[in-house]
Amino acid sequence: MQPYKQDATGAWWVIFICHINLPDIQPTADRPVGIDVGLESFTTLLTGEKTAPPKFYRRSHKKLARAQRKLARAQKGSHNRAKARKRVAKIHQKISNQRADWLHKHALGMVQRFDVVCIEDLNIKGLARTKRGTLWVKSFSDASLSTFMQRLQEKAEWCGRRVVKVGRFYASSKTCHVCHSKTALKLADRMWTCPTCGTTHDRDGNAAINIVHEGIRLLAVGTTESQNAAGDGVNPAKRW
Ligand SMILES: [Zn+2]
């Protein structure tokens, strides 16, 4: 790998590796959290706290369309065309920087607040083949879930926290966290009432509670896909 490169916007990047001291994070009295990731809220915590998916692309969409039209009209080989191409690249880069920044901060916030982060291990590629999956992929075009998972893992390594991935076949949404009976739900059912015990649930908040229960159970029985924060020899310097 060359230690420097120039990107499509014309900016030069110098690449170097350094050793840094990791932030000293205090334990949080052993607080676990369950996170449900979804369509309307990027994340819902077991407390019901929701974070909307960021709309960076939509925010810059008009600007981007204008720049792309200008590029299409510019004469091939002209100075104006080169300028227009750089402008389009800069807008794309800004959107991707905004997403990356948001994902870093959102993931760090989770591991700073909680000791054990339980999250559903969703397979985006698998989901893409289903009708439901199509929706998922569109929804996450603004903030990729798999990048969020990676960020969670690396921040957990930094802070000595654990990330527990709960299998994607675990029925977190349709299981009532109070009486554990299962109810068939449509994707549109955001709120539902359990026919067995009568509890009314927020769909994602209920799922987040089930995810943390399952995560803690997996940790306890030790057959977990959880990644011990310090376990897999990742050099944080490589990731940043
Ligand atoms: Zn119930």
Q: Domain residues of the chain, as ranges?
A: 30-51+115-239
Cα–ligand 1 centroid distance for 161 (angstroms)? 32
174 within 8 A of 183, measured Cβ to Cβ: yes
- DSSP letter, residue 30: S
Cα 209 to averaged position of ligand 1 atoms, centre (Å):
13
pLDDT tens digit at each of 240 positions of the chain: 678 888 888 889 898 888 887 766 666 666 899 999 876 788 999 999 999 888 888 888 899 999 999 999 999 999 999 999 999 999 999 988 998 999 999 999 999 899 999 998 875 554 544 555 554 444 454 447 788 889 999 999 888 889 999 987 788 989 999 999 999 988 788 899 999 999 999 999 999 999 999 999 998 887 544 444 433 433 333 222
pTM for this predicted structure: 0.77
Q: In angstroms, rounded to a whole number, what is the distance separating the alpha carbons of residues 80 and 74?
A: 6
Write down the residue that tokens 């334990």 correspond to: 27
Output the CA 173–ligand 1 centroid distance in Å.
Answer: 12
Give residue 92 CA to ligand 1 midpoint distance, Å.
Answer: 47
d(CA 122, CA 132): 13
Active site residues: 36, 120, 204
Tell me if 213 sits within 8 A of 53, measured CB to CB: no
Three-class DSSP category at 183 = coil
